[in-house]
């Protein structure tokens, strides 16, 4: 059977997050903190707009790039909120950030091209690159999950990579890009004119500090920056599948070819929903963000009280405590937490080799669930 399967597909596996989630499904009475999915309902105005779009029969294909109305609003939103400049013609609506990532990688990667990916990181980057026959080269993060620039510069000098993936706010660490690090990255990108940046900013609406920093804020490198983002996390609509890619024309024309042959367009109804959302639901986003801050602070405090070494997340809805002092692999730690404490969390190793020695908690669950999980975890950790 396997002889039929393409080698590049044989070389990848289903995500470690899903694998663990599937294990949890077989256990009874477990509190699961495994999924990156907010527990809020989709804002009412978005639901209403989608219902209206159905009633008005807005169910045909849209243009490949998606409806102009929404692309125009995204362009305004990016400028006003993040100081990022992409025109509506430089934006393509995709089926989640996931399709945006794969379409972008497909448009850029030739067999053997080297792609720099942080470790730990969202697992899809590595799998997409392998699927396309590219070569993954990891760059390291420091203890506080910021970029190890010494390591990054050495790798770039030695390997001559074609692409660098940036991923802030970060799944799984909750780190955001600081101004200092953004400026250092800018110097590197400006001086290495053969490198294209793919910056995944799907959690950009969920940062807990004042300012937002992105490599896409620099106009003189923007012709080599592809921004991937979307609405899954922003509007708590993971199942509705809407994301977007931003890139200058030369890049976008080619990303669009892949997107066109793969999916034609993003779902029309959902595009109309997001169009309403971006105009009238930013207060809902603010509400969700404030709820996440409460949850983050609660989980962080409990973990600190349990004696975990852990960084305070500054974005997204994940926290990534160290388990190095327990002398256990992350897989073993999480298996035991599942069996003995009845708490499901994801092993750091699911996020690449840099994730070993950590586990990921998603705090996109209710405070009640988080409290129950923390109580159980505390009782169990005290026995280790
Ligand atoms: C960092 C990151 N990028 C992209 C995605 C994909 O998002 P979507 O559901 O919009 O495809 C996720 C989903 O968890 C993510 O964590």
- Are 80 and 186 in a shared domain? yes
- CA angle at 122 for the pair 216 and 32, rounded to the nearest 5°: 130
**Residue that terminates a domain, selected from 249, 281, 313:** 281
Continuous H helices in 216-366: 249-263, 268-280, 282-306, 330-336
Residue range of the domain that includes 16: 2-41+283-381
The string of pLDDT tens digits covering residues 25-77 is 878 899 999 988 899 999 999 999 999 999 999 999 999 999 999 999 999 99
Residue 318 CA to residue 202 CA, distance in Å, equals 13
Average pLDDT of the residues of the chain: 96
- Are 35 and 54 in a shared domain? no
Task: Say if ligand 1 is within 6 A of residue 236 CB.
Answer: no
pLDDT > 70? residue 1 = no
Which atom of ligand 1 approaches the CA of 98 most closely? Answer: 11
- Are 230 and 219 in a shared domain? yes
CB-CB contact of 250 with 223 (8 Å): yes
Number of domains the chain contains: 2
Q: What is the arithmetic mean of pLDDT over 152-169?
A: 97
Give the distance (Å) from ligand 1 centre to CA of residue 17: 12
The 8-class DSSP code of residue 312 comes to P
The string of pLDDT tens digits covering residues 200-244 is 999 999 999 879 999 999 999 999 999 999 999 999 999 999 999
- Are 204 and 84 in a shared domain? yes
- Are 269 and 374 in a shared domain? no
- Are 206 and 312 in a shared domain? no
Task: Say if ligand 1 is within 6 A of residue 167 CB.
Answer: yes
- Are 159 and 236 in a shared domain? yes
Task: Say if ligand 1 is within 6 A of residue 134 CB.
Answer: no
Q: What is the pLDDT of residue 133?
A: 97
21: confidence class by pLDDT, cuts 50, 70, 90:
confident
- Are 201 and 295 in a shared domain? no
- Are 66 and 212 in a shared domain? yes
Give the full edge-to-edge strand order of the sheet including 318-319.
Answer: 318-319, 359-362, 346-347
**Residue that terminates a domain, selected from 257, 281, 305:** 281
The string of pLDDT tens digits covering residues 64-109 is 999 999 999 999 999 999 999 999 999 999 999 999 999 999 999 9
Beta 163-167 vs 196-200: how paired, if at all?
parallel
Residue 230 CA to residue 356 CA, distance in Å, equals 29
**Residue that terminates a domain, selected from 281, 309, 329:** 281
Q: What is the arithmetic mean of pLDDT over 341-368?
A: 96
CA 22 to chain centre: 21
Q: What is the arithmetic mean of pLDDT over 10-27?
A: 82
- Are 23 and 56 in a shared domain? no
Give the distance (Å) from ligand 1 centre to CA of residue 157: 30
Residues 6+ apart with CB under 8 A from 56: none
The string of pLDDT tens digits covering residues 232-288 is 999 999 999 999 999 999 999 999 999 999 999 999 999 999 999 999 999 999 999
Question: Which of 21, 42, 96 for a ligand 1 pocket mutation test, highest count of atoms within 8 Å of Cβ?
Answer: 96
pLDDT > 90? residue 19 = no
- CATH number (domain holding residue 212): 3.40.640.10
CB-CB contact of 130 with 12 (8 Å): yes
Give the distance (Å) from ligand 1 centre to CA of residue 174: 14
- CATH number (domain holding residue 339): 3.90.1150.10
Residue 1 CA to residue 168 CA, distance in Å, equals 40
Q: What percent of the chain stands above pLDDT 70?
A: 99
Closest C-alpha to 145, from 355, 365, 327 = 355
8: confidence class by pLDDT, cuts 50, 70, 90:
very high
């Amino acid at each position: 059977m396997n002889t039929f399967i393409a080698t590049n597909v044989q070389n990848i596996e289903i995500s470690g997050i899903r694998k663990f989630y599937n294990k949890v499904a077989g256990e009874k009475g477990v509190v699961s903190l495994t999924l990156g999915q907010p527990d809020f309902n989709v804002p009412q105005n978005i639901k209403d707009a989608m219902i209206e779009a159905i009633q008005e029969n807005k169910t045909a294909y849209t243009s490949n790039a998606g409806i102009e109305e929404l692309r125009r609003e995204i362009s305004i939103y990016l400028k006003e909120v993040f100081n990022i400049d992409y025109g509506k013609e430089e934006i393509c609506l995709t089926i989640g950030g996931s399709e945006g990532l794969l379409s972008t990688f497909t448009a850029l990667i030739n067999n053997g091209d080297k792609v720099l990916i942080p470790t730990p990181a969202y697992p899809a980057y590595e799998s997409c690159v392998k699927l396309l026959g590219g070569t993954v080269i990891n760059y390291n993060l420091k203890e506080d999950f910021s970029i190890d620039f010494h390591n990054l510069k050495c790798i770039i000098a030695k390997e001559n990579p074609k692409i660098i993936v940036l991923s802030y706010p970060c799944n799984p660490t909750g780190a955001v890009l600081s101004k200092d690090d953004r400026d250092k990255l800018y110097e590197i990108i400006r001086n290495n004119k053969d490198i294209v940046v793919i910056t995944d900013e799907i959690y950009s609406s969920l940062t807990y500090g004042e300012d937002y920093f992105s490599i896409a804020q620099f106009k003189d490198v923007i012709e080599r920056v592809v921004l991937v983002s979307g609405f899954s996390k922003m509007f708590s609509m993971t199942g509705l599948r809407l994301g977007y890619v931003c890139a200058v024309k030369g890049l976008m024309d080619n990303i669009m070819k892949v997107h066109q042959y793969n999916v034609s367009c993003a779902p029309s109804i959902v595009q109309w929903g997001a169009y309403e959302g971006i105009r009238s639901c930013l207060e809902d986003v603010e509400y969700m963000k404030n709820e996440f801050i409460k949850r983050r602070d609660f989980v962080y405090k409990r973990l600190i009280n349990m004696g975990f070494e852990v960084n305070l997340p500054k974005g997204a809805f994940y926290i990534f405590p160290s388990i190095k002092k327990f002398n256990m692999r992350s897989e073993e730690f999480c298996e035991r937490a599942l069996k003995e404490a009845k708490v499901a969390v994801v092993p750091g190793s699911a996020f690449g080799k840099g994730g070993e020695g950590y586990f990921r908690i998603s705090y996109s669950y209710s405070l009640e669930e988080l409290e129950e999980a923390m109580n159980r975890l505390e009782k169990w950790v005290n026995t280790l």
